[in-house]
């Protein structure tokens, strides 16, 4: 879990090879699993590794957010990195129109942000990517 949060891919690979439970959820980090931590950090190789080993791309955290929602809403990453992570998740079957506990989809949350006085750089690119991939 901490290897995913800290981007320690060699450690994560060793733990996975040793049979670590990649679906273990950490109460220290808002009840998320390793995939959600990797996605939040924008770690494309680790996201791919976890997906290849059976991580659930539609798992939700305590707010009902999915890994795709976390990737889309991560303003700390470049739009390019956000989109790369989202592509991995979508190829693995992530539900682009899943709703969190508030009833918001990944796209709905971003559209609210885009109406702000100073939308973050790259936001339009992320919105266009989601729309082009079937988000409503």
Run means of pLDDT, 10 residues per run, the chain, 136 residues: 60 78 68 88 92 96 94 92 97 98 93 70 92 96
Residue 62 burial (C-beta neighbours within 10 Å; 0-12, 13-18, 19+): exposed
The predicted structure's pLDDT at residue 128? 95
The predicted structure's pLDDT at residue 1? 53
- What residue spans of the chain are helical by DSSP H? 2-5, 9-17, 34-40, 44-52, 67-72, 79-91, 106-114, 123-132
The predicted structure's pLDDT at residue 2? 56
Range of the domain at 80: 2-132
The predicted structure's pLDDT at residue 96? 98
Domain count, the chain: 1
The predicted structure's pLDDT at residue 21? 73
- Which residue carries 């506990």 as its tokens? 101
CATH of the domain at 16: 1.25.40.20
């Amino acid at each position: 879990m901490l290897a995913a949060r800290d981007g320690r891919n060699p450690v994560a690979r060793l733990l996975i090879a040793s049979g670590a439970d990649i679906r273990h959820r950490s109460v220290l980090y808002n009840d998320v699993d390793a995939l959600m931590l990797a996605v939040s950090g924008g770690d494309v190789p680790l996201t791919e590794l976890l997906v290849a080993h059976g991580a659930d791309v539609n798992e939700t955290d305590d707010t009902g957010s999915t890994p795709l929602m976390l990737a889309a809403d991560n303003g700390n990453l470049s739009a390019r990195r956000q989109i790369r992570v989202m592509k991995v998740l979508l190829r693995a079957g992530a539900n682009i129109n899943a709703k969190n506990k508030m009833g918001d989809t990944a796209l709905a949350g971003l559209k609210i942000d885009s109406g702000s006085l100073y939308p973050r750089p790259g936001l339009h690119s992320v919105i266009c990517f989601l729309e082009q991939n079937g988000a409503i």
